[in-house]
Amino acid sequence: MTGTGRVASPEWWHSAVLYQVYIRSFADADGDGHGDLPGLRRHLDHLAWLGVDALWLSPVGPSPNADWGYDVADYCAVHPDYGTLDDLEALIAEAGQLGIRILLDLVPNHTSDKHPWFEDSRSSTLAAHRDFYVWADPGADGGPPNNWVSTFGGPGWTLDDASGQYYLHNFLPEQPDLNWWSQGVRDAFDEILRFWWDRGVAGFRIDVCHMIVKDAQLRDNPPATEDDPFVMQMFGQRPFYNSNQPEVHDVLRRWRTISAGYDPPRLLLGETNVEQLDTLASFYGSGTDELHLAFNFPFIEAPLKAKALWDVLERTEALLPDQAWPVWTGSNHDVSRLATRWAEGDPARVRVALLMLLTLRGTPVLYQGDEIGLVDGNITEDELRDPVGRRFWPYYAGRDPERTPMPWDAGRHGGFTDAGATPWLPMTDPRVANVADQRADPRSVLAMTRRVIAARRRSPDLQLGGYERLASPDEVWLFRRGESTVVALNLSGTPHDITLPGRGGSVVVGTDPARDASVPGDALSLGAWEGVVVAGV
């Protein structure tokens, strides 16, 4: 039995459903081909109807877009492509009236090379912001200071001719890494946190949260071995010194203290893209003093197979400190969408995957389009926008396939932008899946997602109850939530007969709308890829 510990004082996010908005691809109000804040405001009714509690907005700040917003040129403003600070404040207010909170994306690992801090920093070795970034003399051979490589390929260092020193970038050369040993950087981010939290922003998703502090001595990374994960072998090294240093926890504790000064506390949701679950667990600190939620990449990367997924979930639950709360997602703007990666475009698999995310113990995060089973787009070489796709094409198409725009209706450009405009990335065919058609169809994936969210809202068991796995065939994930709710997920194409504990109960929601009203005894026959939630067990 795992995950039965009660959270002493649940905050709003423990029982919430979060939803990621990739703003550039969500909805375009002014017909220039990319999404914006007024476009998002127009569709708040969809999100309220769906029943989500909070939106995480991918970066909205001014950016030269070398990495589509993740190269920030100003942390306390709005990119003119998306609107104004007034638009953002209006969004916070309007969403608030609908019971929806707004989370922003904080990018503390690096800035844009066009950020005034970096422009000052590179202007002179004596500049006020010189120590805001990681500068170092060339190595003994006159090359880069050490062997660190960029996550996006190539060396992790770029020579600045003016000073003869190199600066560090764990991503693009246009994304110089901040130096988190600098007190000035720490103080500046305290102000950024307060700037947004004072304006009613409910928290942050924290970009590459595990990476921000680097080894102060800039030691070489050790070589990868053949037992290491594929990515490390590809880069030829373990990111031992340019990532996940113990001092990152000091920064998280500092932010948690600031968060605790607000009512309600502001949510710290980390992008903790680490391989090992014990490392993941460490980002929760004592359970009450670091991140509130830490994204679980081993879960995202597991196949849609019952044993593989319950293994990650149960090991995670066993490792989390007391009071820590998991978070589950299957898609985001960096990984193939769950409808493609987990479900191979099969709507039956999409349904059971969504039912799973929304019924596990923890906070689910849907990515825009998950609710209609949106699949990845097809991108040709000349349509590529992602710098990573451009670099690795044709071996890797980058992240554009999961960033294609949201189809709102079956019309031209799916109602994402004006019929005469050109969407910044090509649309998937909006006739295959779109919001309007699915809203009108009670048997659609969207209608099911909404029913599951509504069932979750009505059920303290599903929101905050413990998790206990029950005996089942290997292809079925059968678990109890809380006192009297059982979830049965057939993660296979083979029908399975299972035995419920006790004498059955009533099906409150499931992947098959025809079954919703039925009341089984203790024997339950699950169709291929079928999932049900049974209450009163």
Catalytic residue selected from 105, 177, 271, 317: 271
Of the pair 73, 489, the CB lying nearest ligand GLC is at 73
| Per-residue contact string for residues 68-87; x = within reach of ligand GLC by CB under 6 A | --x-----------------
Contact positions with ligand GLC (CB under 6 A) in 287-346: 333-334
Q: Is there binding between residue 224 and ligand GLC (CB under 6 A)?
A: no
Contact positions with ligand GLC (CB under 6 A) in 92-111: 107
Residue closest to ligand GLC when measured from CB atoms: 70
Please identify which residue in 67, 317, 370, 530 interacts with ligand GLC, judged by CB under 6 A. Answer: 67
Of the pair 207, 370, the CB lying nearest ligand GLC is at 207
Q: What's the sign of the alpha-carbon dihedral 325, 331, 335, 341?
A: positive
What are the CA-CA distances from residue 512 to residues 6, 373, 448 (Å)?
A: 32, 15, 8
Say how many C-beta atoms besides its own lie within 10 A of residue 57's C-beta: 22
Please identify which residue in 53, 207, 346, 371 interacts with ligand GLC, judged by CB under 6 A. Answer: 207
In angstroms, give the least distance from the CB of 175 to ligand GLC: 6
What are the CA-CA distances from residue 449 to residues 288, 350, 352 (Å)?
A: 32, 10, 10
Of the pair 37, 209, the CB lying nearest ligand GLC is at 209
Q: How far is 338 from 354, CA to CA, in rounded Å? A: 9
What are the CA-CA distances from residue 517 to residues 71, 163, 243, 520, 529 (Å)?
A: 50, 72, 51, 10, 19
| Per-residue contact string for residues 21-60; x = within reach of ligand GLC by CB under 6 A | ----------------------------------------
Active site residue 429: no
Of the pair 23, 107, the CB lying nearest ligand GLC is at 107
In angstroms, give the least distance from the CB of 180 to ligand GLC: 15
DSSP state of 469: E
Reading across the β-sheet that carries 165-168, which strands appear in turn? 135-136, 165-168, 157-160
Of the pair 110, 450, the CB lying nearest ligand GLC is at 110
Q: What's the sign of the alpha-carbon dihedral 257, 261, 264, 267?
A: negative
Q: Is there binding between residue 384 and ligand GLC (CB under 6 A)?
A: no
In angstroms, give the least distance from the CB of 208 to ligand GLC: 5
In angstroms, give the least distance from the CB of 235 to ligand GLC: 15
Of the pair 71, 317, the CB lying nearest ligand GLC is at 71
In angstroms, give the least distance from the CB of 256 to ligand GLC: 21
Q: How far is 408 from 435, CA to CA, in rounded Å? A: 5
Catalytic residue selected from 28, 207, 370, 376: 207
Active site residue 512: no
Closest C-alpha to 402, from 430, 374, 443 = 374
Consecutive H or E run containing 251: helix 248-260
The token duo for 331 is 């898609």
Note whether 456 and 358 are within 8 A (CB).
Answer: yes
Q: Is there binding between residue 208 and ligand GLC (CB under 6 A)?
A: yes
Of the pair 229, 442, the CB lying nearest ligand GLC is at 229
Of the pair 53, 67, the CB lying nearest ligand GLC is at 67
For the residues of 283-350, what is the DSSP string, one character each?
A: TTTTTTSS-SEE--HHHHHS-S-HHHHHHHHHHHHHHSPTT---EEES-BTTB--HHHHTTTT-HHHH
Tell me the three state secondary structure of residue 402. helix
| Per-residue contact string for residues 170-189; x = within reach of ligand GLC by CB under 6 A | -x------------------
Note whether 534 and 506 are within 8 A (CB).
Answer: yes
The token duo for 103 is 């989370």
- Residues forming the site for ligand GLC (CB under 6 A): 67, 70, 107, 171, 207-208, 271, 333-334
Please give the positions annotated as active site. Answer: 207, 271
